[in-house]
Structure 1
Amino acid sequence: MNWVHKDSPTKRNEKIKFVRHIYNLKNGNHFVRYVNESTHLGIRPIKYLKQLGILIAEGPAESVALIEQHPDVEHAEADVRIHITEPQVESKILRLQEVPWGIDRIEARRVWKRTSGAGVKVAVVDTGISTQHPAFAANYRGGVNVLSPMFPPEDYNGHGTHVAGIIGGNALDLGVIGVAPSCSLYAVKAFNRKGSANLSDLLTAINWCIKNKMNIINMSFGMEKLSEALKQAIQIAYAKGIIMVAATGNKGLIGHVDFPARYEETIAVTSVSPQDAMSSFSNQGTRMDLAAPGEKILSAWLNQSRKEMSGTSMAVPHVSGTIALMLSLSSKLSPEEIRSILRRTSQKMESLARVGVVNAYQAIRYLENTKSKSNFR
């Protein structure tokens, strides 16, 4: 092991600081050798994400620095904490509505006689889904609890349930109806009840989505700093044909879009108000693809209830649901074909200089009109 410095072992009786790292391994790596040599340095493998070629491990800080230089390592980075971009909760008394305003704004129900998303698998990478909510009785298909794999992906925060309701909720009598009420919803619980997750948890979630052949990944979260490991995971999922939709962020920043929305492989979504104005909390930048309703959005909540919330987190599922409608009609559409159709058919507004508002009806209409005479399948 000529790559190991002779002073690498931690001295006895010295207090050891353990850190967790993420290792992107090179193609053609000698995995068994790498693990054995890492273990020799006191590094403990936690999990290997086969779909991504990523190993998550922890060990003494000194040893971690050395193993980063191993010939089988392409890139290494520290595991960091990520938080859901905090939405605003509306506290006013809610009126029972037939259809939430966002669903009407994107004209989703105009296409439900032709498509409501049946057969499309949508992964909600979030805080889980409240599985006993009547809004999901017909189309919840299970999932995974990345944080505690022996337990179901039950939601104890509410964010994931709210997002899932916008995508595919189906309880019109409660005023909860999603864009694609017949799609198959999967809870991929990577965020805890406080709305935070480790980067390694998100990588594990994407790995699960690839392995289980999800069609769409809804990412109503963001981080400010670039992660090479997350970028690689996004690129691998993209190459598999998975469409990923992500939030631009909720800090009201101009010229800044959060990751993973900033990665070019994702569809980046910002928020608009009922008055078709850019939401004051929305991050904006050149890496925006679409806008969608994100203020005062009524959807499912914990304890079989409902709640209004605002945030780019609420805008993203309007787009994810629209994509489910499209894939239900034409399952072979690539991520770039989807992006092209959505941008081409979005509604351009004078108040929105850079992006248009997603329009499900126009997207489906365009798809049907071009299906037989273009490359769109």
Structure 2
Amino acid sequence: MFIIHPVVLVALLFLLSAPASLYAQGYSVAFKNFAEEVVFEQALNGFYQLQGATLKVQLAPRLIVKVARQTTNAELMTWAPDATQITDLFLMQQYRYVLLHFTENAQALQALDKLQQQPLITLVQPDLQQQRMKAASLLGDVTEQDLSLPFYLRLAQNKGLWPGRGGAGVTVAVIDDGFALQHPEFSQLHTRFYYDFSSKKIVNAGVSIDGVVGQHGTMIAGILFGAHNRKLPEGLVPNADFVGISQADTWTSHTLQSFYLAYLAKADVINCSWHTQWLLEPVQDVVDELSRYGRGGKGAAVIFAAGNEGQHIEARMHEASISSAIVVGANNTEGMPLKFSNFGGFVDFWAFGGPVISAAHNQDYSYFSGTSLAAAITTGYVALLLERDPSLSSAQLQSQLKQLTVE
């Protein structure tokens, strides 16, 4: 089954028309993030480095702009006359995020300086790409299947949540590096739609995309949607509706569009088993919006992995420091945090960190572990809770989630 909501289709038409990225060269770039001015200076090989830090990013001749929702494209063009195209990224309740495209890097950076002085523009940043940290540890192929239920499934079973109806009636979005949906574990997958940013294509269920391996996303999908076929992984929510968003890069524009596609698809739960190196204000902004207004106003559950660096999570460190999200650390079967898991007050929930068996690309199986796994498990738990009671508010949902602890 493969259904695309008409509103989602309209949004996808914008994505398909977006021009290819170009990298900025030869400039220092200054802009504000959470009201603090940051400066990136030119580094080697077309990268820019954050002043006073090791973070390196790529820039493109595009600007992320936040304005009041009623602001028209005609008004935007009067403020940035060199822009060649305007693309909507995320329509919020009070604001809209748009992407301004320019032919040359110099035009984009000149417009950045001017737009920062425009009082009717709430925020403007260059469209940038940084490294994404996938919060999983790959542990190799499976040589012999262990048929016993893994700990996280037994826990859900003991709490009366699993298998239930397998997440029927709940929509789960996964934003990751791709999904090998031709794997036999996904033969009965209920796919709402699957969009791939690298090819700018809507992908038909069961079709492989050239050049997109999707190992990480496939393992996440296995934990959530694996067929109940007496062979691990036995998915937590195989009957839930799947929204797949393949975003292997971290362009800010793509991240905002990914969340908007999940919002338009009316996702109840959004899995993000990753984090970048640096939290950008627009990303927190749209996660806050989803957490408040998604799921028909009850708030969508946006779930991030805490990360595997063994670090204390600080404010505005990366996506795992977004207060409105559900941030998940990894623990063992005794409920003790695993040493590699990031930790601190921003971590809302702890789930099993593996290792477990999941689906892998090339129709294979693999072990994996980490806070990626913990976030996927938590995504499944949340979907099962919403299957049982769709009326739960965000606060009620988190309260019930915290009852799913090791006894």
Interval containing the TM-score (normalised by the shorter chain)? 0.7 to 0.9
Map of 2:99 onto structure 1: 56
Q: 1:143 aligned to 2:143?
A: no
**Alpha-carbon distance between aligned partners in 2 of 1:291 and 1:103, rounded to the nearest angstrom:** 11
For the residue of structure 1 that corresponds to 2:266, the secondary structure is: coil
Kindly provide the CA deviation profile for residues 288-307 of structure 1, in whole angstroms up to 9, marking residues without a partner as x. Answer: 11111122121111011111
Q: Shift of residue 79 of structure 1?
A: 2.5
TM-score, structure 1 normalization: 0.79
In structure 2, the partner of 1:295 is: 354
Matched with 2:266 is: 213
1:317: how far off?
0.9
- The residue type paired with residue 204 of structure 1 is Q
Q: 1:25 to 1:347 in 2, by over 3 A?
A: same
Alignment partner of 2:182 out of 132, 138, 143: 132
**SS of residue in 2 equivalent to 1:226:** coil
1:122 equivalent to 2:172? Answer yes
Q: Paired residues, what number?
A: 328
Structure 1 residue runs of 5 or longer lacking an equivalent are 1-14, 349-377
CA contact (8 A) 1:279 1:295 kept: no
With the length of structure 2 as denominator, give the TM-score of the two structures.
Answer: 0.74
Give, as a single letter, the amino acid of the residue that structure 1 aligns with 2:71: N
Q: Which residue in 2 is equivalent to 1:175?
A: 232
Q: Percent identity?
A: 22
How far the C-alpha of 1:171 sits from its partner, in A, is: 4.5
- 2:246 is the counterpart of 1:189: yes
> Where does 1:173-322 land on structure 2 (aligned, <5 Å)?
173-191=230-248, 196-240=249-293, 241-256=299-314, 259-274=318-333, 276-322=335-381
Equivalent residues of 1:167, 1:178 under 8 A apart: yes
Q: Secondary structure at the match of 2:402?
A: helix
Contact 1:147/1:201, CA 8 A, preserved across alignment: no
Partner residue, 2:63: 21
Moved over 4 A (4+): 15-18
Following superposition of structure 1 onto structure 2, how do residues 72-151 of structure 1 map, counting pairs within 5 Å?
Answer: 72-80=120-128, 81-91=130-140, 93-108=142-157, 110-112=160-162, 114-141=164-191, 142-151=193-202
**2:74 and 2:148 mapped to 1: Cα distance?**
55
Contact map agreement 1:123 1:187 (CA 8 A) in 2: yes
Cα offset, 1:58, TM superposition: 3.8
Q: Which runs of 5+ in 2 are unaligned?
A: 1-24, 28-59, 294-298
Read off the aligned partner of 1:146 and give its amino acid letter.
F
Q: State yes or no: 1:47 paired with 2:83.
A: no
Q: Any conservation in 2 of the 1:117–1:328 contact (CA below 8 Å)?
A: yes
How far does the alpha carbon of each residue in 1:19-53 deviate from its partner, in whole angstroms, 9 at most, with x for none?
33211112432332113431x2x233352124241
Report Cα offsets for 1:208-262 as digits up to 9, x if no partner: 1111111110011112423110111112111222111111111110344853232
Contact 1:245 1:316 in 2 (8 A): yes
Cα root mean square deviation, aligned: 2.4
